[in-house]
Chain A
Amino acid sequence: MNLGRKKRAFIGISVFIVILISISIYEQQTSPEEFQKAARESLIRHLSSWENSEGSNSSAQESFPSRNPRIIKHCRNTVQGKEMITDEFGAICKRENVLDSNGCCGLKDATQFFCDGCNERGCCGEFEICVSCCMKPQNKAALVAFIESAIVFVEHFFLSISDQFDLCLSKCRTSSLSVQHENTYRDPVNKFCYSELPPLLIFNE
């Protein structure tokens, strides 16, 4: 081991740099906070870009501009509905009107951004209606605000959410915010909320 002093220092430094780099990679990969933050930011970007593109097409609701269920290969939808289904474009239809080929609601017998039975707090009587209403372009700003303000909705929330439909699905589900006394709903009728507010507390007397 007859290496010169400089050479030894050089090896030491390079090893140190390599270690630093790998540690930083490792940190990036594992830190859940970092990850969440990145996910949240990309989600906000996604939502706002969608908002802009639709800003140019103002009559979005009536004419189903971006929604042609015949061309689309695959639609995500709410899956669970008893009688109704809402697809990723916010169109709600009866289960029998869901296209078998792609899972979208058909053009006929479907309504996009349907809000009947949702109250001013943004709470609806049916999960599917909640999702459909939540998908309304006007709600996007509020959703973005929510994502920005919510430090963590639940710890792991943002990791699995990529767009407004995902967000609406998750927001509309009943959660810890929906209950009082643990075993009763705060509002047994309008329990599915896309808004930030929890359901109105109803006393059953």
Chain B
Amino acid sequence: MTILRFLALSICFLSLVLPDTIRTLDPIAIVDITVKPCSSCLPQTSTAIALSVYSAEDIKRSVLEWRRKRSKRQLQTSANDESSDFETKVIEDQWLVIFDGYYSQEHRHSVIATALSGEHVEIVPRDNPAAIFESDFDVLLWPHDERRRFIDLLEDHEDIKEVKQQKQILRKLQYVKTQEHVSNCENCKKAHLPSEARVHRPGQRKAQSVSSSDYWFGSEKLRSRKLMRSVVKPVTDELQADILWDMGFTGQGIKVAIFDTGLPKNHPHFRNVKDRTNWTNEKSLDDGLGHGTFVAGVIASSAECMGFAPDADVHIYRVFTNQQVSYTSWFLDAFNYAILNKINVLNLSIGGPDFMDTPFVDKVWEMSANGIIMVSAIGNDGPLYGTLNNPADQMDVIGVGGTDFAHNIAKFSSRGMTTWELPGGYGRLKPDIVTYGSSVRGSGIYSGCRTLSGTSVASPVVAGVVTLLFSTVPEEKRNSINPASMKQALMHGAKRIDGTNMFEQGAGRVDLIQSWKILKSYKPQATLSPPYIDFMDCPYMWPYCSQPLFFTGMPTIANVTILNAISVSSKIVGTPIWRPYDQETGNFVDISVTHSSIIWPWTGFIAVTITINEKGAEFEGIINGHIEFTIQSESTGSETDEETNEDENYLSEMKLPLRISVIPSPKRWQRILWDQYHNLRYPPGYFPRDNLKMKNDPLDWNGDHIHTNFRDLYERLRAAGYFVDVLGEPFSCFDASNYGTLMIIDSEEEFFTEELEKIAEDVEEGLNLIVFGDWFNSEVMKKVRFFDENTRQWWIPDTGGANIPALNDLLEHFDIAFGSIVSDGEFSFSEREMLFASGASFIQFPDEGKVLVRNLRDQGADITRDENNENFKPRENAVAIFGIHEYNLGKVAVYGDSNCIDGAHMQKECYWLVEEMLQYFRTDTLAEEMSNDLVEWSAVKDQFGSISAPERFVGNQLHRFSKVLVPGLSMKKKPVPECKKHVYLTPQYLNESIESISKSALSWKNRPLLSIDWDEENSDVQSYKPLPSNHRETLSLWTVFLVFAACGAALAFLVAQMRFKKNDREKPLKFPKSRTRKNLST
């Protein structure tokens, strides 16, 4: 009876708690971790290392979300756009009375009656099965206008904790009505753009999206059905692991470490768990979440849902608590223990954006240097570019992206180049490889199987594959297996996925059998990733294939990763050589190369900078050639130390084929320069999101590059016939006469004095300027500080969404200034729906300048308001958010918010606005709808006289991350640095037929790796026998068994003896009463 009572009470308790916590308790949906919400500030950061898992539900939701975004992005053509959303609603007349403990219904009602001293109120009756149990709340009905009196009366009673308004959570279908753009199409027929420019314009799209809402709805259903259907086949079957199992390879003898949430003891799926250790502050080795069990299952489960290497030695490292908290310091100690234990393969289904956590990054390098193959999940932040997670974005780590079972890149899979190298350089290729990460079956937390999605799932698939492959290598050859050689085997065995580029799929999807064949005859060597650069190979070689090179363009950089499996440390010797295949065209291109001074651990980079020189100014066509360089590895195997190392075995000749597409320089108006230099982001500093509503992702961490989160804008501009260059240096380093437009989008950096002067001059002489500002208000900045649980310190933003004081310095010459009001809201402009998501507005503009004035919510006041102030009413004010003006030969267009062109958390796009700006620059005329909305500043300026100019945040830490400011709080600027000087390689012609070389080098195939046969006399793999299982381990198991058997016998004996004496002894089996009670009330 007591047990029943206990159970019933816990059900009752759950039923009370569940409505509030149902979303946090979802056992599968693990997204971001660690930062405990703090009620007063902007909560939840994802700086932390995040467990990268999605439940099927999440996937569905994110697909929905993405669909919705896309359908919105694909413009106003769709008549109306349906999407579902959650909404909480306050129920006016219902009040929640919360007691200080759990009481029976009668008791609760009597408390209420005494509190109200006889006054009658209606108590909402409960008709659920839990009603008979004790509870800590009741719902009361009384009219809204009498609330104060009732609340006071009730809260005076000592048994009543508080009285709250009842809330209801509604899921509703949202209709976003957008206008049909009939008039707009007239507009586009004005044809002030080159003909291909209108590909993405709304009017033209209309024909394709017939009855668009039905269309989207229909495809939605299709997609979710596809997800379900794909569950059928186990992932090990898809990758044909059974072929290797049948040969006797099951991961035996390989130590695989799983850094995760732990594993329950004696899980039925695992037969070879060698070690479980806990590195967290929770005293438990068990998995409370199921994440770690699932991951371990994908690698090494031996029952039900099979893992890849069921006989591998499994080492469990618990580095995440059940609250999903984890710290760098826990990882450091756990990693050290893994080195001590001589782990072979290590899976990290985790990731976070902080690649500047140097202790962690250094430690991961140290792991690789010790020969541990690190496999990690690339992240679940796709389909946005620039979302790679650390440590998967490190060169030495195998970074794994996810696909579905139909071999499409999964939406959630993070992608885009690494952003470490910005602004001066260009990112490296990542992920390295992709594999199944959507709806994969793996071990459940106690037994049985479940289905999960996420790169957290893809990572252990590869870790399992690596472990299995490792065990196929005969013992005497295992010293040739290291992080580089295993990565080579995977990447060269991979199958490329059609239709997606290398920044989404890396080398392609894993092919276990192909990689096994490669490993069978593998010889340590050095390789490159990507293995070539081809401007003609679309879409794989995006973005290289998306824009040809031309004279006066900014240098194009290809950052190629070197994998050298011969030795952990090696270097490039001599000078690389550029070998064009044609004497004439080879002269048109200037190539310079920078590379890592030491290739360590196992990996390094070689960055190739390509520019077209004056000789090629008129050339249109293809230039073929390759870059040659030599890697000197450490010698191994020579007899004495006197012997020199100049053995040719340790010199690897490397070739990087290049195929460059060249055109004559485009016209000035077609050319846009993107300012990368003045973008700062997280890490290293706390640069807040440009949209203040995105509380669960408060950091600006995507790099702000046209090939990361501004990729859609780039594609749009390219489709419209513009050419976009990236400036990774100060403004003093470009020739403005080449460019029609300079775009400064959402800049966080300060400007050098020389830059301010140069831009003022350049605009007078005909350069046009597009500036997208963002919110900036020091009060708001104070408010959005938060306590970062990961670094255990307060984070205060170093700028607002953009550095408006710095932008005001730049715009001062143009008589333009932004104010400190932070606005937010929907409005219409040029007959389109627009969303202003946390942005700034003008307080100053040239009198004849044209501006757009709209009434928008004062979001700043809403954020900084006193929380106890109940009388606060959201305010709206008229703000000038967009403006244009001419200055001599150049023009300036300024808009107050970058959210509508930034792919991160975009809600409503406004690429059309950028295109309109560019149109205006070129034609001097504005589209009619647009000019109708604009007014002259002189007519409206009186409204904005009282708004203050934003001041730099006193004591801000910007100087620590700035390239412009001198360290310290003085806000002094450094002298502008010199522009980069490239040292060009002299071309050395290769007198060979272009056809033969370029074909063999460039036409894509899985190019074979150099190989030797490990086992010449015995090349048949069938003859490799699995290793006998560990002797000692079996012995100790026997001992344990015997001891248990003996114990059992003894117990039986003792019990028999006892029964002899006391036949009638009764054993009470009761829960102490006090305990049940205590459990519930806490």
| Interface pair B791/A82, CB less than 8 Å apart | no
Q: Does A176 contact B (CB under 8 A)?
A: yes
Q: Which residues of B contact A68 (CB under 8 A)?
A: none
Output the residue of A23, A80, A161 with the most chain B CB within 10 A: A80
Known A-B contacts A154-B333, A175-B332, A182-B327; the reply to A82 vs B639 at CB < 8 A is no
| Interface pair B340/A160, CB less than 8 Å apart | yes
B246 to chain A, nearest CB (A): 36
Q: Which residues of B contact A173 (CB under 8 A)?
A: 336, 339, 366
Proximity bits, B550-576, A CB within 8 Å = 1, else 0:
000000000000000000110000000
Contact of B1046 among A18, A95, A107, A157 (CB under 8 A): A18
Contact of B1050 among A19, A95, A98, A107 (CB under 8 A): A19
Which chain B residue has the least Cβ–Cβ distance from A183? B357
Proximity bits, A19-41, B CB within 8 Å = 1, else 0:
10011011001000000000000
Proximity bits, B649-665, A CB within 8 Å = 1, else 0:
00000000000000000
Q: Does A139 contact B (CB under 8 A)?
A: no
Q: Which residues of A contact B333 (CB under 8 A)?
A: 154, 175-176
Q: Does A75 contact B (CB under 8 A)?
A: no
Which chain B residue has the least Cβ–Cβ distance from A26? B1043
Proximity bits, B617-655, A CB within 8 Å = 1, else 0:
000000000000000001111111100010000000000
A116, B1072: Cα distance in complex, Å: 66
Q: Does B323 contact A (CB under 8 A)?
A: no
Which chain A residue has the least Cβ–Cβ distance from B641? A106
> Could you write out 25 A-B pairs with CB less than 8 Å apart?
A19-B1049, A22-B1039, A25-B1039, A80-B370, A80-B568, A82-B598, A95-B569, A95-B634, A100-B636, A100-B638, A107-B641, A108-B641, A154-B336, A155-B277, A157-B337, A174-B362, A174-B366, A175-B332, A175-B333, A176-B332, A179-B329, A182-B327, A182-B791, A183-B358, A204-B960
Known A-B contacts A26-B1039, A173-B336, A176-B333; the reply to A79 vs B369 at CB < 8 A is yes
A185, B359: Cα distance in complex, Å: 6
Q: Does A55 contact B (CB under 8 A)?
A: no
| Interface pair B634/A174, CB less than 8 Å apart | no
Known A-B contacts A100-B635, A184-B359; the reply to A176 vs B329 at CB < 8 A is yes
Q: Does B732 contact A (CB under 8 A)?
A: no
Which chain A residue has the least Cβ–Cβ distance from B1040? A26
A106, B639: Cα distance in complex, Å: 12
| Interface pair A182/B328, CB less than 8 Å apart | yes
Output the residue of A95, A185, A188 with the most chain B CB within 10 A: A95
Top 10 A-B residue pairs of the complex, sorted by shortest distance between their CB atoms: A176-B329, A80-B369, A106-B641, A183-B357, A181-B791, A182-B328, A22-B1043, A82-B600, A160-B340, A26-B1043
Which chain A residue has the least Cβ–Cβ distance from B791? A181
B901 to chain A, nearest CB (A): 31
Which chain A residue has the least Cβ–Cβ distance from B342? A160
Contact of A156 among B337, B358, B1053 (CB under 8 A): B337
| Interface pair B359/A178, CB less than 8 Å apart | yes
Q: Does B792 contact A (CB under 8 A)?
A: yes
| Interface pair B358/A29, CB less than 8 Å apart | no
| Interface pair B641/A83, CB less than 8 Å apart | no
A191, B363: Cα distance in complex, Å: 12
| Interface, chain A (partner B; CB < 8 A) | 12, 15-16, 18-19, 22-23, 25-26, 29, 69, 79-83, 95-101, 106-108, 127, 154-157, 160-161, 170, 173-176, 178-179, 181-185, 188, 204
A170, B341: Cα distance in complex, Å: 11
| Interface pair A19/B1046, CB less than 8 Å apart | yes
| Interface pair A22/B1046, CB less than 8 Å apart | yes
Q: Which residues of A contact B645 (CB under 8 A)?
A: 96
A156, B341: Cα distance in complex, Å: 10
A42 to chain B, nearest CB (A): 17
A175, B358: Cα distance in complex, Å: 12
Q: Does B830 contact A (CB under 8 A)?
A: no
Which chain B residue has the least Cβ–Cβ distance from A23? B1043
Q: Does B601 contact A (CB under 8 A)?
A: yes
Known A-B contacts A160-B340, A183-B356, A183-B359; the reply to A15 vs B635 at CB < 8 A is no
Which chain A residue has the least Cβ–Cβ distance from B968? A205
Q: Which residues of A contact B1049 (CB under 8 A)?
A: 15, 19
| Interface pair B354/A183, CB less than 8 Å apart | yes
A12 to chain B, nearest CB (A): 7
Q: Which residues of B contact A106 (CB under 8 A)?
A: 641
B562 to chain A, nearest CB (A): 15
Q: Does B790 contact A (CB under 8 A)?
A: yes
Output the residue of A81, A170, A174 with the most chain B CB within 10 A: A174
Output the residue of A160, A181, A182 with the most chain B CB within 10 A: A182
List 7 extra interface pairs beyond A15-B1053, A106-B641, CB under 8 A: A12-B1053, A15-B1049, A22-B1042, A82-B601, A101-B639, A154-B336, A160-B340
Q: Which residues of A contact B330 (CB under 8 A)?
A: 176
Which chain A residue has the least Cβ–Cβ distance from B790? A182
Q: Which residues of B contact A175 (CB under 8 A)?
A: 329, 332-333, 336
A161, B336: Cα distance in complex, Å: 12
Q: Does B1036 contact A (CB under 8 A)?
A: yes
Q: Which residues of B contact A18 (CB under 8 A)?
A: 1046
Q: Which residues of A contact B329 (CB under 8 A)?
A: 175-176, 179, 182
Q: Does B1010 contact A (CB under 8 A)?
A: no
Q: Does B360 contact A (CB under 8 A)?
A: yes
Q: Which residues of B contact A26 (CB under 8 A)?
A: 1039-1040, 1043
Q: Which residues of A contact B356 (CB under 8 A)?
A: 183
Contact of B569 among A12, A29, A83 (CB under 8 A): A83
Which chain A residue has the least Cβ–Cβ distance from B340? A160
Q: Which residues of B contact A12 (CB under 8 A)?
A: 1053, 1057
Q: Does B18 contact A (CB under 8 A)?
A: no
| Interface pair A179/B328, CB less than 8 Å apart | yes
Known A-B contacts A181-B792, A181-B793; the reply to A174 vs B359 at CB < 8 A is yes
| Interface pair A99/B640, CB less than 8 Å apart | yes
A194, B645: Cα distance in complex, Å: 33
A81, B568: Cα distance in complex, Å: 8
Q: Which residues of B contact A157 (CB under 8 A)?
A: 337, 340
A40, B339: Cα distance in complex, Å: 19
Q: Does B3 contact A (CB under 8 A)?
A: no
| Interface pair A185/B358, CB less than 8 Å apart | yes
Q: Which residues of B contact A16 (CB under 8 A)?
A: 1050
Q: Which residues of B contact A176 (CB under 8 A)?
A: 329-330, 332-333
A18 to chain B, nearest CB (A): 6
A104 to chain B, nearest CB (A): 9
A15, B598: Cα distance in complex, Å: 67
Q: Which residues of A contact B1039 (CB under 8 A)?
A: 22, 25-26, 29
Which chain B residue has the least Cβ–Cβ distance from A176? B329
Known A-B contacts A82-B598, A178-B359, A185-B359; the reply to A15 vs B1050 at CB < 8 A is yes
Q: Which residues of A contact B366 (CB under 8 A)?
A: 80, 127, 173-174
B370 to chain A, nearest CB (A): 5
Q: Does B371 contact A (CB under 8 A)?
A: yes
B150 to chain A, nearest CB (A): 49
A23, B354: Cα distance in complex, Å: 50
Q: Does B38 contact A (CB under 8 A)?
A: no
Which chain B residue has the least Cβ–Cβ distance from A110? B641
| Interface pair B363/A174, CB less than 8 Å apart | yes
| Interface pair B638/A170, CB less than 8 Å apart | no
B775 to chain A, nearest CB (A): 27
B350 to chain A, nearest CB (A): 15
A128 to chain B, nearest CB (A): 12
A106, B337: Cα distance in complex, Å: 30
A183 to chain B, nearest CB (A): 4
| Interface pair B568/A97, CB less than 8 Å apart | no
A80 to chain B, nearest CB (A): 4
Contact of A179 among B332, B354, B370, B568 (CB under 8 A): B332
Q: Which residues of B contact A204 (CB under 8 A)?
A: 960
Known A-B contacts A178-B359, A183-B356, A185-B359; the reply to A170 vs B336 at CB < 8 A is yes
| Interface pair B634/A96, CB less than 8 Å apart | yes
Q: Which residues of B contact A83 (CB under 8 A)?
A: 569, 598
B644 to chain A, nearest CB (A): 10
Known A-B contacts A16-B1050, A154-B337, A176-B333; the reply to A80 vs B635 at CB < 8 A is no
